[in-house]
Structure 1
């Protein structure tokens, strides 16, 4: 046997041993991460206990549609941490889909929030049978609470169609209770209607238009202070009937257009006092408003998120390919001898 061939075979054996070692370590980490899913229950209930309910003057932050965003959502959390807000509410599409690993990633992100952070369920949480995982982590799908003279109602319209009869009855009871309070805030992921009226193939609002109109009438009747929604990856503010609304879907997911007045990353800072309620749009760094820049940014955030969320799977695939190619190469070498 030629000395150079022996050295090459020895080198290949060492590389193969290293690849097998890395493969076993990666598999071990994968199994460990699967078995050690965050032991969190009733996140929203626990965070509600951290809010000072007696405050008459306070601020809170509202945002939605981060969808496992990495850089933008992390920056948003840092900016909210720097704000003088009592708590924050993420109104849905917390993850790209309901895979457990994506919920794990979101939990690790919001653990960096130093404010109590509440959630509403969005349509993306329902994918891959994620509703059960959401419930196990965050608790009830709809709930209410009070702070000072303000009543907060969080709804579940994640099916994008309607509210079930039990939730509708619950909502009417909550609205009746809210009349004792000066301010009434309602939060839902999918908006009643889509404020964009031109050039739309599919409107991003409740599919049951009859129910949407009924809810609008109900909110008008109970004089809702503000209705918050997301689902549309942009910022809009207006009035449906007599009910003012804000759509805040700019927490990190792909943006839907290039209009500087609407299509940018942001969150809303709401300040409540006896004198009234004010709303401030807080912008977060966004891509340029050119269509090419937006398209490139959208592609990049999906690629980046894929590798960050599935880096162990990528390593496993690369090692397996290397393992197979090396074995084949070694067999061919022996056959030649």
Structure 2
């Protein structure tokens, strides 16, 4: 009777664990992202032609160049701050008032010390809120404009002095990416480029983990979209957190243009016509500067022996309910040797001709989980995809790059501990990586599901025991008798010898 009660109680706990665990997992997958209860996002308003974003607050018009208005943060004392996220290390802010008012601004994603030092002739109260956030209090007068304009370092001052970091494909490699963040903070770069695949499948809980990690970056993080980032509702979450899909900025006499090629893994066109139109105008204006273009998917896959990419049918297949396509897209073992460049060879030629025509110095890419480099028509293409995602490409390793402003010939590769370069070790590391990622993204769900399966195994053992109780008891008695006889016989044989 006691055993039956125990079984019934265990079944109830088992069901609760599995239902709550699976329910929590589904909720984490489909729920929308919320930064905090005290934050209200605003729809993105961004003009890529001059990298500007405008918002009306308290009868004042706030315009930021080199950033965008992200939302409104409510303070504990009831105050409201307009949150501006920088896209460049030195964003310019202009506040024009129609009536007298006090405006609080939170500028995030900057190096506060570097930003303040770059501002001349400004007496606005400023407070360093976090390692990458600065609060400004601005007293606006009627019909007057206040402009906070950092001074760009001169070419003579920054040769070899300022550096930036390039990395990509951090995705679900949380431990490695955390190590990289710690290391690059020690390098004190003016900005960091993460060129795509920030998360694995665009889910809110994955973006939450990424956002928590990069909140520790003590300088400007400039991002672009990867094909994994836009899965599900990933694009809308990215836009809310990190702004426009394409933009550009200058630092001294160097120009950096960021593009969205994320559809290029599963669709025929990687970069939209709208972007190409903008890019050509942007590159024309940047002539005379050193130009760097950043996007996720390379126009060509420089590896030899790759096969044609069969994923272009993915979008239509998913719409028609053929789930095998999603499984195939997720199966990196099948896709790792596929062509990872643009799906349309004509678009690849168009892109590379555009880079050459406007004298682009370097194109930074990722998408392939390795370090690769090639030159085409005078343009250098650097692929850096080693910031944490699984390593199955031959001779790949975890890494990031350090480059110096105005020193185009120098790029230092910093290698991190990586699994041994053989398939057995790397597949084992990949399984471990996915298991850790699953727990990091859904700790409660994973613990509950594991507990449910442990209880299920316990029930199976009890059920087998009850069904086979008599033979099991007989076997146990037989083993016990053998043990007793063996001990007795041992004493008889060896006990007599010791007496003699």
Give the CA RMSD over aligned residues: 3.6
Which of 240, 246, 267 is the matching residue for 2:382? Answer: 246
Residues 88 and 116 of structure 1 are in contact (CA less than 8 Å); yes or no, is this contact kept in structure 2?
Answer: yes
What is the distance in 1 between the residues matched to 2:33 and 2:405?
Answer: 41
What is the distance in 2 between the residues matched to 1:310 and 1:87?
Answer: 31
Give the Å deviation of 1:197.
2.0
Structure-to-structure mapping, 1:1-337, within 5 angstroms: 5=2, 37-39=34-36, 45=68, 46-47=85-86, 48=88, 49=91, 50=110, 54-55=152-153, 56=155, 57=158, 58-160=162-264, 161-181=269-289, 183-201=290-308, 202-259=338-395, 263-273=396-406, 276-318=408-450
Counterparts in 2 of 1:131 and 1:276: CA distance versus 1, 3 Å: closer
Greater relative CO, 1 or 2 (CA 8 Å, sep 6+): 1
Higher helix share: 1
Counterparts in 2 of 1:234 and 1:20: CA distance versus 1, 3 Å: closer
Residues 403 and 411 of structure 2 are in contact (CA less than 8 Å); yes or no, is this contact kept in structure 1?
Answer: yes
Counterparts in 2 of 1:203 and 1:323: CA distance versus 1, 3 Å: closer
Give the Å deviation of 1:30.
10
Give the Å deviation of 1:284.
1.5
Residues 44 and 119 of structure 1 are in contact (CA less than 8 Å); yes or no, is this contact kept in structure 2?
Answer: no
What is the distance in 1 between the residues matched to 2:450 and 2:67?
Answer: 40
What is the distance in 1 between the residues matched to 2:353 and 2:261?
Answer: 17
Unaligned runs of 5+ in 2: 45-65, 69-84, 92-109, 116-150, 309-337, 463-500
Counterparts in 2 of 1:312 and 1:170: CA distance versus 1, 3 Å: same
SS of equivalent to 1:152: strand
Give the Å deviation of 1:44.
6.3
Deviates more, 1:34-43 or 1:186-195: 34-43
Higher strand share: 2
Cα-to-partner distance string for 1:85-138 (whole Å, 9 max, x where unaligned): 111010000000011111111111111222221210000012123111111211
Cα-to-partner distance string for 1:277-333 (whole Å, 9 max, x where unaligned): 521111111111122111111111011111221222223435667899999x9xxxx
Counterparts in 2 of 1:318 and 1:148: CA distance versus 1, 3 Å: same
Q: State the TM-score, normalizing by the size of structure 1.
A: 0.82
Deviates more, 1:30-39 or 1:242-251: 30-39
Counterparts in 2 of 1:158 and 1:27: CA distance versus 1, 3 Å: closer
Deviates more, 1:50-59 or 1:142-151: 50-59
SS of equivalent to 2:188: coil
SS of equivalent to 2:249: strand
Residues 26 and 315 of structure 1 are in contact (CA less than 8 Å); yes or no, is this contact kept in structure 2?
Answer: no
What is the distance in 2 between the residues matched to 1:306 and 1:98?
Answer: 14
What is the distance in 2 between the residues matched to 1:24 and 1:215?
Answer: 49
Q: State the TM-score, normalizing by the size of structure 2.
A: 0.57
Counterparts in 2 of 1:242 and 1:276: CA distance versus 1, 3 Å: closer
Cα-to-partner distance string for 1:206-251 (whole Å, 9 max, x where unaligned): 1121111111111111111110000010001120222111000011
Counterparts in 2 of 1:311 and 1:44: CA distance versus 1, 3 Å: farther
SS of equivalent to 1:126: coil
What is the distance in 1 between the residues matched to 2:352 and 2:33?
Answer: 44
Residues 403 and 412 of structure 2 are in contact (CA less than 8 Å); yes or no, is this contact kept in structure 1?
Answer: yes
Residues 93 and 121 of structure 1 are in contact (CA less than 8 Å); yes or no, is this contact kept in structure 2?
Answer: yes
Give the Å deviation of 1:180.
4.0
Unaligned runs of 5+ in 1: 330-337
Residues 20 and 445 of structure 2 are in contact (CA less than 8 Å); yes or no, is this contact kept in structure 1?
Answer: no
What is the distance in 2 between the residues matched to 1:214 and 1:123?
Answer: 21
What is the distance in 1 between the residues matched to 2:10 and 2:285?
Answer: 72
Give the Å deviation of 1:271.
0.2
Give the Å deviation of 1:20.
7.4
